[in-house]
Structure 1
Amino acid sequence: MEIRIAGLAEESIVDGPGFRYTIFTQGCPHNCKGCHNPQTHDPDGGRLDDTDRIFEQIIKDPLLDGVTFSGGEPFCQCKPLVCLAKKIRSFNERKLGIISYTGYTFEQLMKRSETDPDCKELLSLLDYLVDGRYEENKRSLELKFRGSSNQRFIDVQRSLKEGRAVEADTEYL
């Protein structure tokens, strides 16, 4: 399945715990002031890639601990990310974790999931979610895996079970 991406980082240590393969999706409606990736905002920018090709790249690297969906706004391309996440989940040789960044809050995504099955399915396939728009005036270099203090590092599976956002303890990740 095709996905529009801004780029790929095959071995990242800043986009979540461990060694990660990061996919920077193209297109973002948030336009956060001070955004780290403003080149990803244009939904027609970047380039088309194939989720099968990306998956093959991921499984070739034995050092990876997980995959991160970043952006742009990954939740603008739920369907191809669901396709990719399912492939990652079905790859049983390694338990690769899946994290997504989003400018939406967990609560906004839960509301959207009521009418958008792809959004609901993508959430169900994630381990962690970094939610909330980047707020330049709340920027902190002390935060683990986040850019601004309003953003949360959410344990998605636990949150879905409890029906509310449950933050993960990043100290142990």
Structure 2
Amino acid sequence: MASLRISGVVPESIVDGKGIRYVIFTQGCPHHCPGCHNPQTHDFEGGYLVDTDGLLKELRQNPLLKGVTFSGGEPFCQPAPLAELARKIHESGLDVTVYTGYTYEQLLEQHNPDTDALLQQADVLIDGRYEQDKRDLTLHFRGSSNQRVIDLNRTRAEGRVVVEQLDEE
């Protein structure tokens, strides 16, 4: 069992990644992007502590889920418990999407074993800070055009960043 500081959860979402998803909103974010959709998640002392086993037990009860999304806040401020939770989520047959205000390249440059472990467990990474002047409501799963939806499984296999091409109008 690991502890995780969260702002809350959404048991079923269709806007935070592909398919029906269980969304965990982590608490604490260093980015403070102007116009952030979740400003209540910025305070590192806010939210509440949960044990990851309890979250896992809850999400396993929904047979409709395709996967789990870690949002925020900034999930990479708590990479160790999230990496372990993601590993168990995969054992349950679900995929993992992670939102981050960092770019993929910035995360790799950290050379942090816990960050690397979470990246290894993530199937999709939606990266980049929210930029209010690049806001685009037609985009799937993100708020501004600078953010990327990265297929991390293909990225690892091909040795280059593979950005998903979503059918957007």
TM-score by length of 2: 0.95
Match of residue 111, structure 1, among 104, 109, 112: 109
Shift of 1:86: 1.1
RMSD, aligned CA:
1.2
Per-residue CA shift, 1:104-157, capped at 9, x if unaligned?
001001111x2x111111101111000000000100110010100000000112
Equivalent residue number for residue 68 of structure 1: 69
| Identity within the alignment, % | 57
Structure 1, unmatched stretches of 5+, are none
| 1:97 is aligned to 2:102 | no
Counterpart amino acid of 1:7? Answer: G
Shift of 1:169: 2.1
Equivalent residue number for residue 19 of structure 1: 20
Aligned counterparts of 1:163 and 1:37: Cα–Cα separation in 2: 33
- Alignment of structure 1 residues 26-37 onto 2, 5 Å: 26-37=27-38
Structure 2, unmatched stretches of 5+, are none
Aligned counterparts of 2:59 and 2:164: Cα–Cα separation in 1: 25
- Alignment of structure 1 residues 82-93 onto 2, 5 Å: 82-91=83-92
Aligned counterparts of 1:82 and 1:167: Cα–Cα separation in 2: 22
Contact 1:107 1:165 (8 Å CA) reproduced: no
Aligned counterparts of 1:41 and 1:163: Cα–Cα separation in 2: 33
Equivalent residue number for residue 41 of structure 1: 42
Shift of 1:83: 1.4
